[in-house]
Amino acid sequence: MEHLQSDDTLRFLKKPKPPDPRVVKRWEGRLEVLSNPDGFIIQCTLALSNTKIFYTPDVRDSTKTFLAHLLPSFVIKLEGAWQESSFLFPHAHVLLPVLPEVRPFLEAIKLSGAKVYRSKFQGQVLPDPFSLIPDRGPDLPDLSVLKHLVSFRDSTITTLKNSPDLARYLAKTTYTGGLRPVIEHHLK
């Protein structure tokens, strides 16, 4: 039996479509609301260990309600990214404003095992997310409600810079499981 070359395999894959300009425009608006004057946004990429949030409205509503009690505003983009190993990596990009009110949530995520890393924008290393937010004290929330949904050890916290590229990235079509891939809270 003849083995397929990598070129033969790749020619069957569909080329991704560019994002819809209307969706990009919506993301530009969301990012503008969340950005601080320097254009920074905090992102938690939560690795999902349970995919019910993709297709069960009750799980989605209860997750949104829980986070709404902890955070002044947020946007969640649910994604399922196919890895090279053919494994679907379900995750959520939680985008947060740079405000003191988000620090207890970030601290609780970090203490639960999430890694903090510094991303780059146009070749420059962005600030540590915790350096952007003043300390608010030890009143950390209990995140045990999320433990059946999120693998904290595989999650990350970073700072992003608002840009047209970020809006286009977030506007791309991904696996959604049947429900809308975006959850918003207090962005108006």
Looking at the chain, the whole-number percentage of residues with pLDDT higher than 70 is: 89
**Axis-axis angle for helices 21-34, 164-171 (nearest 10):** 120
CA 132 to chain centre: 19
Q: Which residue has the higher pLDDT, 98 or 89?
A: 98
What number of other Cβ atoms are within 10 A of residue 51's Cβ? 16
Whether residue 14 is predicted with pLDDT greater than 90 in this model: the reply is no
Query: 6 pLDDT band (50/70/90 cuts)?
Result: very low
User: Picking from 56-70, 98-112, 125-139, 141-155, which range would have the lowest pLDDT averaged per residue?
Assistant: 125-139
Going from N- to C-terminal start, the domains of the chain cover 18-185
CA 116 to chain centre: 14
Instruction: Please name the residues in contact with 65: beta carbons below 8 A apart, sequence gap of 6 or more.
Output: none
Instruction: Please name the residues in contact with 12: beta carbons below 8 A apart, sequence gap of 6 or more.
Output: none
User: Is 61:54 a contact under the CB 8 Å cutoff?
Assistant: no
Residue type, 21: P
User: Is 36:97 a contact under the CB 8 Å cutoff?
Assistant: yes
Q: What does the pLDDT average to over 42-71?
A: 95
